[in-house]
Amino acid sequence: MTDLLQPFPLGAARIDDASVFARARTELLHLARAYPVDRLLAVFRRNAGLDTRGALPPGNWEDFGHPNEDAWGERDYPGREHAQTANLVRGHYAGHFLSMLALSAAGEDDPTLRAKVDDLVAGLGEVQAALAATGRYSHPGFLAAYGEWQFSRLEDFAPYGEIWAPYYTCHKLMAGLLDAYELVGNRQALGLAVSMGHWVHGRLARLEPERRQRMWSLYIAGEFGGMNETMARLSAAADEPRFLETARFFDQDHLLDAGASRTDVLTDMHANQHLPQLIGYVDEYELTGERRYLDAALGIWDQIVPGRTYAHGGTGESELWGPPGTVAGDVGHRNAETCASYNLLKLARRLFAHTRDARYMAYYERTVLNHILGSRRAARSDVSPEVTYMFPVHPGALREYDNVGTCCGGTGLENHVKYQDTVFLAAPDGLYANFAADADLDWSEAGLRVSQRSGFPLGESVSLRFTGSGDGTERTVRLRVPAWAAGVPELRLNGDALDAPTVGEYAAVTRAWRDGDELTLTTPVSLRAEAAVDDPRQCALFLGATLLLAQSEATTGLAFGLNGRRAFDGSLITGRTGAQLLAELGRDGAIRIEGTSFEPCWSGEDGRYHMYVRSADAEIAFGGNGTGVPNRQRADGSTFLDELWAPGAFTDRTAFLARVADTARRVRAEGLLGRDELTAVLAAAAAFDGATGTPRADGRLDVPVLNDPALNDAGKVPPAVAIEVLDEPAPSGWYTTAPRIRLRGFDIDSGTSDELELELRLDGADWTPYTGPVAVTGEGVHRVEARVRDREGRTGAVSRELSVDTEPPVSEAVVKDLGASVEITLRADDAVSGVERIQWEGPGTFWGTFQEAFVRAIDDEPQVIEYAATDRAGNEEPRRRLVIPGRRESP
């Protein structure tokens, strides 16, 4: 492993203040400086019986436990029926915050942040000592903000709900302590982590392997984060071989075997329960040399990327993986947990260090720009990380910002203060420049400083400028050529052209680098539509590295004419060059396509968006120029343009015209193109130059299809049928009243409808004769099919989908008695379009949206709470009332 790529120290590289990444970094650094350490320590001090100094805990998952809860030891817990517990992962957020402080202190070389690291570590040290002094715990190294009982209950296979991933919280604390030691040099942090490590080893060494395997397989209860990674790191940091043995205690045999053998077992597994351990397997490989660890991480990666990843790099629906090779088919209402992308980026970085395979950095660039930068709201806060939990991908989605105290709130603390850690990596023979963020590097080993400038992601070139004396040693600088580059990229050294580099690989230049050298890579940008792996009609739009989100209040899919805009190379023609689109995006914060604004996924804005749009051309067009000929659908929904572009880009005009002729012949024979329409389509194709929307003056198409009697004689092809909807949908795109449909059959050549029989079928039921408009009743997404038959028996067919939700959701209030107060949880269900929000108001509040449980103190007089739910279609239920009795009415 002597050629393993290595990160530079965080302080050696810095993201430039003009970079798009600087926005999120600046806001998280503000939070790091503003947030009080005492608030992070409050839950620990309360658990240890120490003075909390009047500090409130962060809140949400990170709150004080129930008043009846005690600092129970491993066998003290009296059971759920006798002691309600709450906030069972409290303490994890402080671990993440400590990591953020350490990352920030190292990256900024800020003594104030270093002092804050020291204060938080010292506070945790006081808590560990106070807990040890009680003698209640199995080892004096125990450190947590709750009792040890969760760990012993896990050993007896307690389910999620009774316990909540105790080793997950342990990992976050230990990782934070190791970051404080490795990044800032805090030796007390290492001592605390070593003590915790001995406690962890003691708990697990006494268990038989079969029991550990069953523990780790428990849904969420057995989630341990990256404990194997942390114990392996601790083994190296403390020079303690026993901790490597402890890391192996967390090996999950079935996952290791499946990854190494490339057997897919991920369907319905909790994504972020297992992703962190893959990073740990890379650590274990590096310390043991056992290849199965690395093979497992590589094998599982290939099962996730790209077959289970969305356009912005996220993965999972409701935190679970769906079937392999399924993206569009696994879009729900809560996709792409940000924690999962956090861990996939860490894994990509580690796998790239071993393999140097550019595809890992292609994923890294896409995800760090779009999911991670886009996960931070463009706003300042003194108390909240303002990051997403889910970054959903369904039509009309909203980012789930805020997330104080949640798992993604914790990883979100770290995400935005370490953007520089992968821009450059060090190789034994030189340097890797992995993505084009504006950044500076102190390459001290070479005696040089490197300034990378590109305006990324709003530029079309990146330059590396070298300053300093240099040491005269030849070194290789490798610059990644992104796979999204359009046309032929150009590489220059000090203005002189070098051999054209390969798209999607690294361009390598070897020399003794010296002051004044400049290496420039030009990568033209185009607008492109990237189809989901399992549905060519569901597309995400990219401009270079930037994923574009359509801004719309609709909550059903948006349709755009994408195939009718394609160039021969597959890019989309808009009448503007890539450079012009980048300038528009930089100037206006959005670009407009067919009247819709598309914002960059990394914007951090709050509006409703569509990550995927549906490729659906109403008319046949080439290069954005319509022909006036309808792009009629087959019974399966496919069209002329779908078939034309299904194979992908065209190598030249000859291949394109041949494919047009072949497809037109087939579509005409199916009755989807009239005789005159066929001529119009072929003429328009001949006039298309393949790159712009400007028709060729010399366009002609001399092919036999124009002279085929079987296709040009009237009455020789099937009739056509159209499905017309007589009612308008709601702004959401859903029909909130039953839509009426009308069928229209006609001869494709003459337009007449004489002696045609029409039939209708709904959702795969029996075909029925059509006699007049029909209302589509029933909730859900309906498939409407129509067919037409002429007197010779020739048949045409068509289909379309209609989304119908006419009923509002149903909500309920669940009330928990807390003595002097009540905790109210509002729940709602809508099995059709899904619940959009629940709103409520009561004394002293306004009619607003509240997603979490809330507490109301019991007053002397009764309190009336009104609430109602709204679904994604736009249906709102009548207001409901909840009366909280006052003390005067209580028995």
- Tell me what the mean pLDDT of segment 218-243 comes to: 97
- Tell me what the mean pLDDT of segment 860-876 comes to: 91
**CB distance 286 to 1 below 8 Å:** yes
Q: Residue 317: beta bridge partners?
A: 320, 335
Give per-residue burial for 96-105: e unless 16+ CB within 10 Å, then b.
Answer: bbbbbbbbbb
Q: Look at residue 317 and tell me whether its pLDDT is greater than 50.
A: yes
- The pair of structure tokens assigned to 606 is 């709050």
Q: Look at residue 290 and tell me whether its pLDDT is greater than 80.
A: yes
Question: Is 588 exposed, middle or buried, given 0-12, 13-18 or 19+ CB atoms closer than 10 A?
Answer: exposed
- Tell me what the mean pLDDT of segment 50-63 comes to: 95
Query: How does DSSP classify residue 159?
Result: P
> Could you give the CA distance from residue 316 to residue 881 in angstroms, rounded to a whole number?
37
Return the pLDDT at 78. Answer: 82
Report, in this order, helix, strand and coil percent for the chain, each rounded to 5: 35, 25, 45
- The pair of structure tokens assigned to 558 is 């948006």
**Three-state SS at 655:** helix
Question: Is 268 exposed, middle or buried, given 0-12, 13-18 or 19+ CB atoms closer than 10 A?
Answer: exposed
Kindly give the residue spans of alpha helices, DSSP state H, lying in 688-751: 709-712
Per-residue confidence band for 856, with pLDDT thresholds at 50, 70 and 90: confident
Per-residue confidence band for 859, with pLDDT thresholds at 50, 70 and 90: confident
Question: Is 747 exposed, middle or buried, given 0-12, 13-18 or 19+ CB atoms closer than 10 A?
Answer: buried
Return the pLDDT at 625. Answer: 93
- The pair of structure tokens assigned to 163 is 């316990």
Alpha carbon distances (Å) from 404 to 85, 306, 386, 415, 678: 20, 31, 8, 14, 60
- Tell me what the mean pLDDT of segment 682-695 comes to: 91
Per-residue confidence band for 239, with pLDDT thresholds at 50, 70 and 90: very high
What would the DSSP string read from start to end of 733-775?
SSBSSPPEEEEEEE-TTT---TT-EEEEEETT---EE--S-EE
> Could you give the CA distance from residue 95 to residue 405 in angstroms, rounded to a whole number?
11
- Tell me what the mean pLDDT of segment 676-681 comes to: 91
> Cα dihedral sign for 65, 66, 70, 76?
negative
- The pair of structure tokens assigned to 18 is 């003009």
**CB distance 248 to 316 below 8 Å:** no
Q: Residue 313: beta bridge partners?
A: none
> Cα dihedral sign for 750, 751, 755, 758?
positive
Q: Look at residue 710 and tell me whether its pLDDT is greater than 60.
A: no
Return the pLDDT at 714. Answer: 47
pLDDT digits (tens, 9 = 90+) for 737-774: 999 999 999 888 888 888 899 999 999 999 999 999 99
- Tell me what the mean pLDDT of segment 626-631 comes to: 94
**CB distance 183 to 103 below 8 Å:** yes
Q: Look at residue 2 and tell me whether its pLDDT is greater than 90.
A: no
Closest Cα partner for 39 from 123, 122, 164, 163?
123
Higher pLDDT, 85 or 630: 630
Q: Look at residue 259 and tell me whether its pLDDT is greater than 70.
A: yes
Lowest-confidence segment of 77-91, 188-202, 822-836 by average pLDDT? 77-91
**CB distance 551 to 598 below 8 Å:** yes
Q: Look at residue 627 and tell me whether its pLDDT is greater than 70.
A: yes
**CB distance 635 to 783 below 8 Å:** no
> Residue written as tokens 């430039």?
16
> Could you give the CA distance from residue 881 to residue 889 in angstroms, rounded to a whole number?
18
Q: Look at residue 851 and tell me whether its pLDDT is greater than 70.
A: no
Per-residue confidence band for 696, with pLDDT thresholds at 50, 70 and 90: confident
Alpha carbon distances (Å) from 461 to 458, 485, 543, 801: 9, 10, 14, 44
> Could you give the CA distance from residue 744 to residue 136 in angstroms, rounded to a whole number?
80
- Tell me what the mean pLDDT of segment 497-504 comes to: 95
Give the rounded percent of residues in the chain with a pLDDT score beyond 90: 81
Average pLDDT, the chain: 93
Kindly give the residue spans of alpha helices, DSSP state H, lying in 109-163: 111-134, 149-155
> Could you give the CA distance from residue 716 to residue 144 in angstroms, rounded to a whole number?
80
Helix (H) or strand (E) holding 871: strand 863-871
- Tell me what the mean pLDDT of segment 437-443 comes to: 98
Which residues, 6+ apart, have CB-to-CB distance to 208 below 8 Å?
Answer: none
> Could you give the CA distance from residue 686 to residue 704 in angstroms, rounded to a whole number?
14
pLDDT digits (tens, 9 = 90+) for 117-152: 999 999 999 999 999 999 999 999 999 999 999 999
Tell me the Ramachandran region of residue 780: left when phi exceeds 0, alpha when psi lies from -120 to 50, beta otherwise: left
Q: Look at residue 891 and tell me whether its pLDDT is greater than 80.
A: no
> Could you give the CA distance from residue 196 to residue 201 in angstroms, rounded to a whole number?
9
Per-residue confidence band for 872, with pLDDT thresholds at 50, 70 and 90: confident
Q: Look at residue 838 and tell me whether its pLDDT is greater than 70.
A: yes
Helix (H) or strand (E) holding 592: strand 591-593
State residue 763 phi and psi, 5-degree precision.
55, 40
> Could you give the CA distance from residue 599 to residue 585 in angstroms, rounded to a whole number?
8
pLDDT digits (tens, 9 = 90+) for 179-198: 999 999 999 999 999 999 99
